[in-house]
Amino acid sequence: MKKLFFIAIVLLGISSCSETEPDQYTGRELNFELFKSSDYDFTGTMNVKELVAGGLELTLRMNGVKANSDYSYPAHLHFGSYDQADAPIAFMLNPVSAKTLESNTILGKLSDGSQLDFEAMRMFDGHVKIHLANEGPDYQVILVAGNVGANPSAFNPDDLAICGKGF
């Protein structure tokens, strides 16, 4: 009898742990390619998922060699195309971990005060750049970059503009 009681308790515990949580995403998403932009051998993607509660989650993933350090690569969402000189930063994205080569950011208000929903992101005139460093000469080294939103996805590294830090 004790064994049956114990088994019932275990089964009850297992079933309570397997309840599915409500999905936080609507199922709508966009994917943008990020291209190799320097001598460093990285490429990547930016995935945009619409949240049920409203807003957007941006996931950056780089393909390349992972590091064993706590270093991270700064990432920015910019206004304009990747070839636009001094394109203002629209939003500071969470840095990409050198260990995982990933970053997740819940997009807030942009530097111009606007807020992007899913349709506005689809039509956004912008691009993403991931830098080697947050400051100094390595800030000018862009690991990956690519247009997002309505901008053409074609990429020519010779046209890549070094970005300023202005908002």
pLDDT in tens, the chain (167 residues): 555 444 444 444 555 554 555 799 999 999 999 999 999 999 999 999 999 998 999 999 999 999 999 999 999 999 999 999 889 999 999 999 999 999 999 999 999 999 999 999 999 999 999 999 988 889 899 999 999 999 888 898 888 887 766 54
CA distances to 86, 105, 111 from 79, in Å: 10, 17, 10
Residue 106, Cβ neighbours under 10 Å: how many? 11
| Residue 136 zone, left/alpha/beta (φ > 0; ψ -120 to 50; rest) | left
Asked if residue 113 lies in contact with residue 9, where contact means CB atoms within 8 angstroms, the answer is no
Residue 111: name the closest of 160, 77, 140 by CA.
Answer: 77
Residue appearing with tokens 């275990």: 10
In this prediction the pTM is: 0.84
Residues of the chain by 3-state class (helix, strand, coil), percent to 5: 15, 40, 45
What ranges do the domains of the chain cover? 23-159
CATH architecture of 23-159: Sandwich (2.60)
